[in-house]
């Protein structure tokens, strides 16, 4: 059975999956993350590495693999502490469940994203020989008309059990009001749950070498009909988290990622500035 050609995943999901694979294929070892499964699902043309969004975006590629590794480390840490539910809000073509089978079978995983992205992903996983285990739930949500929280509950999520929730590549596209509502929904999680959400700094707060690329990204997103809406300073992120009642609030910025995952590299690979994670407890 061939994938329905009319159904296509989100372009951002495709790009980030290819960046993860490109890291393995062109960057020196040790690799921050080993993930070529998304590339296998996409099966791009032979010249895909020559695409401008692949060839000239080394620092963005490093940011994407750092982000993915950071989230996976947190997920494994929380699962080791007994958390039994893992929610990926804006899952895209994440392959944690396929690459970490010993760990992932200890937890119920809920991947939330646009319907076409998840439908395509499920079909391609089956076509490429990756079974979809019973503990992996795809939660399709049309974010413009549906509540991700209500769809998550309909999928069997147990609000009485602690969870780990990750949210990457999403807040850029949401208004401050929508972000606040998302955080308030997360406050309904069982006490002691952990959330990790990526926010994005305003262009003026980026390293000078990263500003032109972000400005191009802003224009490209607007032209594609998916404009970037929200940027936050670290102080604003902390204030927002405090406002909704989150506890043990931390921010993890690019410098922290560089120190954690890129120290001592001989190839000069470093992540672009601009992404800041909020990590907190309910």
Could you report the per-residue pLDDT of 132-181, keeping only the tens digit for each?
A: 999 999 999 988 788 999 999 999 999 999 999 999 989 998 999 999 99
CB 167 within 8 A of CB 139: no
Query: Strand ranges (DSSP E) for the chain?
Result: 85-89, 108-113, 136-140, 164-167, 194-200, 247-252, 275-281
pLDDT, mean of residues 188-204: 96
What does the block give as tokens for 59?
């620092």
**Greater confidence, 143 or 211?**
211
What does the block give as tokens for 129?
């020989």
The phi, psi pair for 166, rounded to 5°, reads -110, 150
* The pLDDT value given to residue 79: 98
Dihedral sign from CA coordinates of 109, 112, 116, 121? negative
pLDDT, mean of residues 87-105: 96
Dihedral sign from CA coordinates of 229, 232, 238, 239? negative
Q: Which residue has the tokens 């069997």?
A: 156
Q: Which of 120, 115, 98 is nearest to 14 (CA)?
A: 120
* The pLDDT value given to residue 265: 94
Peptide bond between residue 14 and the one before it cis (omega within 30 degrees of 0): no
* The pLDDT value given to residue 3: 57
Query: Strand ranges (DSSP E) for 40-144?
Result: 85-89, 108-113, 136-140
CB 167 within 8 A of CB 89: yes
* The pLDDT value given to residue 2: 53
Instruction: Please write the tens of the pLDDT for every residue from 20-79.
Output: 999 999 999 999 999 999 999 999 999 999 999 999 999 999 999 999 999 999 999 999
Range 46-83 burial, b when 16+ CB lie within 10 A, else e? eebeeeeebeebbbbbbbbbbbbbbbbebbbebbeeeb
3-state secondary structure 82-95: CCCEEEEECCCCCC
pTM: 0.94
Q: Which residue has the tokens 């999928």?
A: 155
**pLDDT band at residue 1 under the 50/70/90 scheme:** very low
Estimate the crossing angle of helix 254-261 against helix 58-80, to 10 degrees.
80
pLDDT, mean of residues 116-139: 96
Instruction: Please write the tens of the pLDDT for every residue from 214-251.
Output: 888 888 788 878 889 999 999 999 999 999 999 999 99
pLDDT, mean of residues 256-264: 96
pLDDT at 88 over 70: yes
Q: Which residue has the tokens 């998304």?
A: 38
* The pLDDT value given to residue 5: 66
CATH superfamily of the domain spanning 11-281: Vaccinia Virus protein VP39 (3.40.50.150)
Average of per-residue pLDDT values in the chain: 94
* CA 156/CA 63 separation, integer angstroms: 33
* The pLDDT value given to residue 122: 97
From its phi and psi, is residue 5 left (phi > 0), alpha (psi between -120 and 50) or beta?
alpha
* The pLDDT value given to residue 217: 84
* CA 169/CA 38 separation, integer angstroms: 17
* CA 76/CA 157 separation, integer angstroms: 19
């Amino acid at each position: 059975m061939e994938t329905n050609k009319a159904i296509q995943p989100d372009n951002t999901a495709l790009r980030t999956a290819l960046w993860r694979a490109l890291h393995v294929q062109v960057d020196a070892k040790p690799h921050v993350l080993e993930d070529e499964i998304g590339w296998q699902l996409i099966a791009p043309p032979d010249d895909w590495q020559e695409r401008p969004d692949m060839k000239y975006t080394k620092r963005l590629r490093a940011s994407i693999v750092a982000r993915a590794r950071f989230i996976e480390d947190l997920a494994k840490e929380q699962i080791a502490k007994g958390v039994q539910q893992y929610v990926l809000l804006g899952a895209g073509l994440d392959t944690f469940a396929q690459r970490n089978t010993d760990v992932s079978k200890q937890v119920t995983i809920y991947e939330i994203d646009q319907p076409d992205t998840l439908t395509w992903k499920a079909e391609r996983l089956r076509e490429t020989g990756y079974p979809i285990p019973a503990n992996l739930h795809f939660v399709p949500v049309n974010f413009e008309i549906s509540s991700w929280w209500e769809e998550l509950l309909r999928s069997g999520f147990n609000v009485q059990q602690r969870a780990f929730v990750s949210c990457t590549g999403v807040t850029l596209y949401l208004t401050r009001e929508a972000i606040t509502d998302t955080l308030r929904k997360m406050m309904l999680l069982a006490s002691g749950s952990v959330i990790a959400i990526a926010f994005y700094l305003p262009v003026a707060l980026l390293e000078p070498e990263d500003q032109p690329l972000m400005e191009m990204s802003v224009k490209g997103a607007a032209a594609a009909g998916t404009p970037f809406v929200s940027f936050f300073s670290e102080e604003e992120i902390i204030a927002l988290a405090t406002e909704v009642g989150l506890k043990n609030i931390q921010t993890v910025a690019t410098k922290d990622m560089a120190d954690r995952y890129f120290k001592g590299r001989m190839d000069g690979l470093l992540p672009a500035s601009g992404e800041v994670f909020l990590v907190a407890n309910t």
